[in-house]
Structure 1
Amino acid sequence: MFTLLVLIPVAGALIAWLIPSNVKRPWVMPVTACLHLALVVAIVAAPPLQSRNEWIDLDAIGLLFLLEVSALFAACAFYSVSYLHYRRERNNRVLCMGMQVCLAAMSLAAGVHHMGLLWLAIETTTLSMAPLVYFNRNARSIEATWKYMLICSVGIALALLGIFFLAYSTVVAGLPPSLLLEPLQGYAPRLPAGWLNAAFVFLLVGYGTKMGLAPLHTWKPDAYGEAPGLVGAMLAGGLANCGFIGLIRIYQICMASGDVHFYRAALLGIGLLSLFTAAAFLVHQTDFKRMLAYSSVEHMGLFAVALGLGGKALYGAMLHLIGNGLAKGVLFLAAGNIHRAFASKSRDSARGALRRAPWSGALFLAGFLAMTGSPPFLIFSSEYSFFVAAFTQGHPLVGGLLAVLLMVAFLGMAMTVLPVVFGEPPKNRERTKYHDAPLLVGPPLALLTILGVVGVWLPQPLYRLVNAAAALLEVAR
């Protein structure tokens, strides 16, 4: 079944490439999305037996990531039909193909337990999304594309060097060389600390660049700001989470070594630095799409802090994997609608969205509340677990810093979101032809509904999956 998860979007990409019609081609993506999501749900309902020491092994962590990415892609796929109809002046062949290739690569990354093949899958996501950042074909979008490609390529090259160090550490230890996750976890206590630490640092920097951890985040504001809304959603809710999966795999190996203080201190340090950087740039941010980029830096920092805290925070990290991805989908799709309604991304020009695009304005406001951890949305539960872990596991300073930085980030986002939603529409700007349509507001509304429902009631299969994923990170809840 796992093979189909990769082959279905690959087949969809090929079909999209062959279809000559710009109008019919976007409908391939919803078909691909429905098939992919149905297969993922079937696997969640009846998970396959675990196979040890295999290159492909879809464990609970990978399955949780797959569920989030598949749901997010489904929303973006249906949204794309109306969006690409609105953008008929652009050829959409590359976008339709690239989105589906990226889904295939993310699906592969979810189930790979070979560190080299995981690196290849993550690099494929980078390459497949680059042409999509350039969709608008202007000077700012090509600048954003080059920044994205250069910085992420350097990061992924450093991650490859980290994998070489990891492989060489097995040689130095006189063990059978392997890049498979389970053997490496077994080898970890006997691996030389110097080589293992070097591998961790390079993989943290490499996959941290992919996630957008500070100070490795500099590609994000431009890429998120210039990419179409559905591409931004997949970058923030899919690509960044894919980097987190890569970080989780090296984390699992390093935790098995027994000497965890260096790794946890490094993760706490880079996580808090990311939160501080995001909070600083969110204050007085006038471009609401760039604001979402710094919000992504903030939440990637929360992932790193959760791994650094360990314990109960790891359960929250698995919840946050779902919540962050789906909430970013709501915000980016709604932000894309508001951008087209006002032909501007500035809060000074795009004001009064509730009057000009009421559904999109309401979704943008609700997405902001969901993203900042307001109840009843799922991120409230995940962030609550981070605070519980910090204050009950002997890290009160980390808990206090989290509270202050999250409050600053909330206020900074509010200073941008509230004028965009509630402000007075500018009278000196001509109204655009945009109007809210079912396929433009329905997908983000569906994601928001999921966030609200699972924030109040976690279905039993999903609850078991989150617990199983947390258990793989050696957490007792």
Structure 2
Amino acid sequence: MFFVILAPLALAAVAFAGPSQARRPLALLAGAVLHLGGVAVLWVTRPGPALGGWLELDPLARIVLPMTSALFCVCAVYAQGYLKRRPDRDNRVFVGGLLVLLSAMTVVTLSQHLGLLWVAIELTTLSTAPLIYFDKTARSLEAAWKYLLVCSLGIALALLGTFFLALAGAGPGGPRSLLLGDLTRAGAALSSPWVRAGFVFLLVGYGTKMGLAPLHSWKPDAYGEAPGVLGALLSGGVTSVGFVALARVLQVCSAAGEAPFARDALVGIGLLSMALAAVFMIGQRDFKRMLAYSSVEHMGILTLGLGLGGAAASGAMFHTVNNGLTKGVLFLTAGNLHRSYGSKRVDDVRGAARRLPVSGPLFLAGFLAVTGSPPFGPFFSEFSILNGALGGGRWVVGALYLAFLSIIFVGMGATVLKVVLGDPAGAPEVKAHGDSWLTAGPPLFLMAVVLLLGLFLPRELASLFDAAAARVGG
């Protein structure tokens, strides 16, 4: 278990110390492959808790850790082609920062101690903020600072929430540690007012990291200015581990008898996020900012499913995988389009299917998948959440959910179709940036996996989604 945490850190040290600009991306690929191999071993052997119970491969970790590792490995392959086309930029910080991010995401996923989890979440912020400034433009600098300041403020509030949960366990029989096992075993002995206060602060803190509305202000700028490979990891990886952190908090609230309070808050903020995304998706002229609002939407879907519980919570676990992989397709292909046209404005980009015969159609396929079109995986996970809402008698929630999904499909489709279809003649062009197997192959692979998850879901995975939902009180 320690291998998957320490191997990326060791390769990060190699990347920071290595003098060769050309060979440094190989450290990124090596770290990704070693991490994926280590995760595969963990998934098969299912080791017990480590570090005195601070780290554990529980059902939620068995879902999110392989997804983030696979996404990172695909992005590492893509980065070989991307960084080769950017010899004008020093890649030392970029490669080293991504490897530190991989280690931090691993710790968040495995952590069973709320203090350790908080430290690792903060490390994901610190390791990625400098990478947003990779293009070294005024807009990317502004986006990096906004991301750092807003997320750090959110994490500071999450720290207060963590302190409040510690105080909740300081009553009769306490004080207790911040280990999830100790807090959940305490159950009703936890102080309800402190549990509620802790949940509110942690929802705001980790909700900021996920980019839930109205805590999303950093997302459009950061996703719009970050390189496509970083956008894929932020939207598919970092937000997913933020969801893991929120699920751990709900686990404590459920044990303390505060599940109704917590779930109502999750349903409310989930619907608000979808509503805001629907508003800003209409008439969006920047396709990378459009993907940022799509991320706000899907974090809302995850939070909504978690709040509804039951079949919806199991669907949210499935949707974590689908969203992470589909966002990889969209951000990597969006990066290819941006480089080929030298612009991310819809007014400048048209006919992408002709100019980039792999990335253009993939961008369209990614749109269809992420908006819940069959037969792709997200259709089935989103349908599971709807089924959970209607099966639980939440008719108004189900109706709003469908309405927001419909509006987003129309708004996002209008932007994507303008980008993909039409005649590219007369549009700006950077001739050296066409499709290659290193930049078009990775998103094609991810798209195939997303399609496969829609066509066939192994029984073991379905059982794992149910087990993870049950663990958090679903």
What range is the shorter-chain TM-score in?
over 0.9
The answer to whether the 8 Å contact 2:307/2:313 transfers is: no
TM-score w.r.t. length of structure 1: 0.97
Aligned AA for 2:82?
Y
Following superposition, the deviation at residue 169 of structure 1 comes to 1.4
Deviation at 1:173, TM superposition (A): 4.3
Note if contact 1:115-1:163 (Cα within 8 Å) is conserved in structure 2.
yes
Q: Look up the match of 1:139.
A: 138
Provide Cα deviations, 1:17-46, integer angstroms capped at 9, x if missing partner.
Answer: 122111111111122111111221222222
Give distance in 1, aligned partners of 2:294 and 2:429.
30
Aligned positions of 1:331-350 closer than 5 A: 331-350=330-349
Give the structure 2 partner of residue 409 of structure 1: 408
Question: What's 2:183 paired with?
Answer: 184
Letter in 2 for 1:419: K
Equivalent residue runs for 1:385-396 within 5 Å: 385-396=384-395
Q: Work out whether residues 44 and 461 of structure 1, in 8 Å CA contact, stay in contact via their aligned partners in 2.
A: no
Q: How far 1:168 moved relative to its partner?
A: 1.0
**For structure 1, which runs of at least 5 residues remain unmatched after alignment?**
none
Which residue does the alignment assign to 2:309? 310
Residue aligning to 2:457: 458
Offset, 1:174 = 4.6
Equivalence for 2:326: 327
Q: Give the match for residue 20 of structure 1.
A: 19
SS in 2 for 1:218: coil
- Map 1:247-262; keep pairs closer than 5 Å: 247-262=246-261
> What amino acid does structure 1 have at the position aligned with 2:281?
L
What residue number does 1:175 align with? 174
Q: What corresponds to 2:205 in structure 1? A: 206
- Counterparts of 1:343 and 1:429 in 2: how far apart (Å)? 7
Measure how far apart 1:370 and its partner are. 1.1
Partner of 1:235: 234
Q: How many residues end up aligned between the 2 structures?
A: 474
Q: Distance in 1 between matches of 2:39 and 2:93?
A: 26
| 2:56 equivalent in structure 1 | 57
Tell me how far apart the structure 2 counterparts of residues 205 and 223 of structure 1 sit (CA, whole Å): 19
Does the Cα contact within 8 Å between 2:171 and 2:189 map onto a contact in 1?
A: no
In structure 1, what residue type is equivalent to 2:135?
N
Q: Is contact 2:342-2:429 (8 Å) kept?
A: no
Residue in 2 that maps onto 1:221: 220
* Alignment CA distance shift 1:32-1:461 (3 Å): farther
Q: Which amino acid aligns with 1:393?
A: G
- 1:444 lines up with 2:443 in the alignment: yes
Q: Is the 8 A contact 1:342 1:349 kept in 2?
A: yes
Amino acid at match of 2:30: V
Partner of 2:112: 113
Q: Matches of 1:60 and 1:25 in 2, distance apart?
A: 35
Partner of 2:421: 422
Q: Is 1:66 aligned to 2:65, yes or no?
A: yes
Give, in angstroms, the shift of residue 105 of structure 1.
Answer: 0.5
Q: How far apart, CA to CA, are the structure 2 residues paired with 1:87 and 1:36?
A: 26
Q: How far apart, in 2, do the equivalents of 1:173 and 1:226 lie?
A: 51
- Give the Cα–Cα distance (whole angstroms) in 2 for the partners of residues 377 and 355 of structure 1: 24
How far apart are the structure 2 equivalents of 1:151 and 1:173?
A: 37
User: How far apart are residue 324 of structure 1 and its match?
Assistant: 0.6
Kept after mapping to 2: 8 A contact 1:343/1:432: no
TM superposition shift of 1:268: 0.8
Contact between 2:113 and 2:180, CA under 8 Å: does it hold in 1?
yes
Q: 2: distance between equivalents of 1:185 and 1:428?
A: 59
Matched residue SS, 1:88:
coil
Match of residue 364 from structure 2: 365
Q: Distance between the aligned counterparts of 1:19 and 1:413, measured in 2?
A: 43
Unaligned runs of 5+ in 2: none
Given that residues 196 and 258 in structure 2 are in contact (C-alpha distance below 8 angstroms), is that contact kept between their aligned partners in structure 1? no
State the AA in 2 paired with 1:414.
G
The aligned counterpart of 2:38 is 39
Paired residue secondary structure (1:35): helix
Q: Structure 1: how far apart are the matches of 2:292 and 2:458?
A: 31
The question of whether the paired residues in 2 share the 8 Å contact of 1:37 and 1:67 is answered with yes
Q: 1:430 to 1:437 in 2, by over 3 A?
A: closer
Deviations 1:138-160 (A, max 9, x none): 10000000100000000000000
Shift of 1:200: 0.2
1:83 equivalent in structure 2: 82
Q: Secondary structure at the match of 2:2?
A: helix
Residue 188 of structure 1: how far off its partner (Å):
2.9
Q: Is the 8 A contact 1:286 1:346 kept in 2?
A: yes
Query: Residue 147 of structure 2 corresponds to which residue in structure 1?
Result: 148
- For the 8 Å contact 1:350–1:426, the answer to whether it is kept is no
Alpha-carbon distance in 1 for matches of 2:18, 2:157? 38
Determine the C-alpha separation between the residues in 1 that align with 2:289 and 2:174. 48
1:151, 1:169 → 2: CA distance?
27
Which range is displaced more, 412-421 or 172-181?
172-181
Aligned-pair CA distance for 1:462 = 2.9
Contact 1:45-1:461 within 8 A present in 2 as well: no
| 1:352 alignment counterpart | 351
Tell me the secondary structure at the aligned position of residue 358 of structure 1.
Answer: coil
Give the conservation status (yes or no) of the 8 Å contact 2:371–2:409: yes
- CA offset digits 1:279-307 (Å, max 9, x no partner): 00000001000000000000000111111
Q: Deviations over 1:84-136 (max 9, x none)?
A: 01011000010000000000011111111110000000100010000100100
User: Identity rate of aligned residues, in percent?
Assistant: 52
The ranges of structure 1 where at least 4 consecutive aligned residues each deviate by more than 6 angstroms after the TM superposition are none
Per-residue displacement from partner, 1:370-415 (whole Å, max 9, x unpaired)? Answer: 1111111111111011111111101000000000001101111101
Deviates more, 1:124-133 or 1:258-267: 258-267
| Letter aligned with residue 255 of structure 1 | S
* Alignment root-mean-square deviation, CA: 1.4
What is the CA-CA distance between 1:432 and the residue it aligns to? 3.0
Q: Supply the AA of the counterpart residue of 1:231.
A: L
- Please give the alpha-carbon distance, in whole angstroms, between the structure 2 residues aligned to 1:428 and 1:79: 25
In structure 2, the partner of 1:165 is: 164
Secondary structure of 1:57 counterpart? coil
Partner of 1:294: 293
Q: How far off its partner does 1:240 sit?
A: 0.8
The CA distance in 2 between the partners of 1:261 and 1:80, in whole Å, is 44
Secondary structure at the aligned position of 1:175 is classed as: coil
Residues 410-419 or 450-459, more deviating: 450-459
Partners of 1:251 and 1:451 lie apart in 2 by: 28
**Counterpart of 1:413 in structure 2: which amino acid?**
M
